[in-house]
Chain A
């Protein structure tokens, strides 16, 4: 099915080589943003051009690819990226987290634990965690170089002063291996604890901003906080209404005009796996 007009996985070999060098450098310096010569991809910026390039550089013909968007395998972004690699690389695809060797994700980490040998590729809109505090790129690079991260806590301070608690709920800043402060991409802070000590390789690609960074397996990743306002991995205080899971990250779905709502797992593979195993939630269809 491979479209023979393109090289394997769309990008030419020299480009993939360049990206792999950036990935290796990123793995060698965990959390450090490595500049790379991001290419134009046949999709708009903001749709995962960075993640797609990193995935393309990692794919081999034997790989099994899974693509998720907000945890779901069946949303537009996930479907089109999956099709793209089916067409240009001819790799096998799956929706099962455990079967995949490369997982490209937007805004979530799968609920099922990852294992050694897997690669998790994140799509990153803005790689610089200090960006909205300090607009000058030259200055933020200097701050990373000199480990001047006091400003990051000013943001958390402002949160507490205004809302009584740390209100940042996604893209929650982390410190990697005690050195670089990193934006974990807009994953919910519920997923932050899964970043650290993870057996899989985690790669982050920002296409428009031309940066790649990485968290190697079994790396220490701490979420920033205050001693008297510790980090809390929050989620909606409900169980999944389809599979009854109490420990997974939930999406809120409005179901009528009368204020009715339901909560469902954002990870569709996790949820359908549980339903297949016989778990039931509040809104599960009868006689299933």
Chain B
């Protein structure tokens, strides 16, 4: 463990995730082209763009769900694309987390809330029922789900609760890097606001690095430190969130910012 601690100290000044020239093609079409960026520990990066702009493709490539055609992804000094699948899958259930847009994709609908939260713990070797249950109860509390719902299945939960359960299930092993694909999509605005509030608290408390894909500029305004704007598979603009949103340089970003309805 000592060696890991030293590595982690050194890693604070190093980017946690660095991406160079990432390209994914679907036949002749480009999914995402020549994307490069760095993500530092504790940083939240937003990726915005319209539907079909390649942001979900990019996220899938980063999380290892899709294999990119070109480029390099380095996580904490390790080449993600070159590492053995065993190691990559171990990463994705310990140090990484992936929050799906539709909670049904990220949850086991036939398993109780407690089982859903406990799965990652058991996957990394927890074998004590009492302590698994205790941790699960604690996490349900942290995402504002009543403790007496622990034995209910997610199918008995509302959409907002399912999404919060999915977040608890992902964060229970204390990951360092979280991928989120439209975490607030399909939720009504008041539920969205509470979820964002919750996410912001968790990100600050746990010092998470997050890559969050969304088409909702309000979400990135609240959560993201930095912003990347994509169009047609390419990055058209990136920078600090407030800078990009308040003083957009690229024509598409200007259009995007001015398209938001002011209430």
Most buried by A among B85, B127, B129: B129
What distance in Å separates the Cβ of B115 from its nearest Cβ neighbour in chain A? 5
Residue of A nearest to B119 (CB): A154
Cα distance A151–B124 when bound, in Å? Answer: 11
Tell whether, in the assembled complex, residue A157 and residue B129 are in contact, meaning their CB atoms are under 8 Å apart. Answer: yes
Cα distance A153–B151 when bound, in Å? Answer: 16
Q: Which of B97-105, B106-114, B160-168, B186-194 contacts A (4 or more CB under 8 A)?
A: B106-114
Tell whether, in the assembled complex, residue A227 and residue B128 are in contact, meaning their CB atoms are under 8 Å apart. Answer: yes
Contacting residue for A157 out of B86, B93, B124, B132, CB 8 A? B132
Instruction: Name the A residues within 8 Å of B151 (CB-CB).
Output: 161-162
Tell whether, in the assembled complex, residue A154 and residue B118 are in contact, meaning their CB atoms are under 8 Å apart. Answer: yes
Contacting residue for B119 out of A146, A151, A226, CB 8 A? A151
Proximity bits, A173-198, B CB within 8 Å = 1, else 0:
00000000000000000000000000
User: B221 on the interface (CB 8 Å rule)?
Assistant: no
Contacting residue for B127 out of A153, A158, A161, A162, CB 8 A? A153
Cα distance A161–B150 when bound, in Å? Answer: 9
Instruction: Name the B residues within 8 Å of A278 (CB-CB).
Output: none
Contacting residue for B115 out of A148, A158, A228, CB 8 A? A158
Cα distance A187–B122 when bound, in Å? Answer: 26
Contacting residue for B130 out of A146, A153, A154, A228, CB 8 A? A228
What distance in Å separates the Cβ of A132 from its nearest Cβ neighbour in chain B? 9
Instruction: Name the A residues within 8 Å of B123 (CB-CB).
Output: 148, 150-151
A227-B132 CB under 8 A given contacts A146-B86, A150-B119, A157-B115: no
Contacting residue for B124 out of A146, A150, A160, A227, CB 8 A? A150
Instruction: Name the B residues within 8 Å of A146 (CB-CB).
Output: 85-86, 89
Cα distance A227–B150 when bound, in Å? Answer: 21
What distance in Å separates the Cβ of A136 from its nearest Cβ neighbour in chain B? 13
Cα distance A160–B114 when bound, in Å? Answer: 11
Instruction: Name the A residues within 8 Å of B215 (CB-CB).
Output: none
Tell whether, in the assembled complex, residue A154 and residue B108 are in contact, meaning their CB atoms are under 8 Å apart. Answer: yes
A154-B115 CB under 8 A given contacts A146-B85, A146-B89: yes
Cα distance A226–B130 when bound, in Å? Answer: 9
Contacting residue for B122 out of A154, A161, A229, CB 8 A? A154
Cα distance A157–B127 when bound, in Å? Answer: 10
Instruction: Name the B residues within 8 Å of A228 (CB-CB).
Output: 128-130
Tell whether, in the assembled complex, residue B120 and residue A157 are in contact, meaning their CB atoms are under 8 Å apart. Answer: no
Instruction: Name the A residues within 8 Å of B133 (CB-CB).
Output: 161
A226-B127 CB under 8 A given contacts A146-B85, A157-B132, A162-B151: yes
Most buried by A among B89, B115, B119, B128: B115
Instruction: Name the A residues within 8 Å of B85 (CB-CB).
Output: 146
Cα distance A190–B190 when bound, in Å? Answer: 54
Tell whether, in the assembled complex, residue A161 and residue B130 are in contact, meaning their CB atoms are under 8 Å apart. Answer: no
Residue of A nearest to B87 (CB): A146
Instruction: Name the B residues within 8 Å of A160 (CB-CB).
Output: 129
A161-B86 CB under 8 A given contacts A151-B123, A226-B129: no
Most buried by B among A151, A157, A162: A157
Tell whether, in the assembled complex, residue A226 and residue B115 are in contact, meaning their CB atoms are under 8 Å apart. Answer: no
A157-B122 CB under 8 A given contacts A146-B85, A162-B151: yes
- In chain A, positions 214-252 with a C-beta closer than 8 Å to chain B are 226-229
Tell whether, in the assembled complex, residue B128 and residue A154 are in contact, meaning their CB atoms are under 8 Å apart. Answer: no
Contacting residue for B128 out of A148, A150, A161, A226, CB 8 A? A226
Cα distance A226–B129 when bound, in Å? Answer: 6
Instruction: Name the A residues within 8 Å of B119 (CB-CB).
Output: 150-151, 154
Tell whether, in the assembled complex, residue A157 and residue B114 are in contact, meaning their CB atoms are under 8 Å apart. Answer: yes
Cα distance A148–B94 when bound, in Å? Answer: 13
Tell whether, in the assembled complex, residue B122 and residue A153 are in contact, meaning their CB atoms are under 8 Å apart. Answer: yes
Instruction: Name the B residues within 8 Å of A161 (CB-CB).
Output: 112, 114-115, 133, 150-151
Cα distance A131–B24 when bound, in Å? Answer: 33
Tell whether, in the assembled complex, residue A157 and residue B89 are in contact, meaning their CB atoms are under 8 Å apart. Answer: no
What distance in Å separates the Cβ of B93 from its nearest Cβ neighbour in chain A? 8
Cα distance A229–B122 when bound, in Å? Answer: 14
Cα distance A28–B123 when bound, in Å? Answer: 27
Instruction: Name the A residues within 8 Å of B108 (CB-CB).
Output: 154
- In chain B, positions 71-97 with a C-beta closer than 8 Å to chain A are 85-86, 89, 93
Cα distance A22–B37 when bound, in Å? Answer: 51
Residue of B nearest to A226 (CB): B129
Cα distance A160–B128 when bound, in Å? Answer: 12
- By a beta-carbon cutoff of 8 Å, the part of chain A in contact with chain B is 146, 148, 150-151, 153-154, 157-158, 160-162, 226-229
Can you list 6 A-B contacts with CB-CB less than 8 angstroms, sorted by A residue number? A150-B122, A157-B115, A157-B122, A161-B114, A226-B128, A227-B128
Given contacts A154-B118, A160-B129, 11 further A-B contacts (CB under 8 A): A146-B85, A146-B89, A148-B89, A154-B108, A154-B122, A158-B112, A161-B112, A162-B112, A227-B127, A227-B129, A228-B130
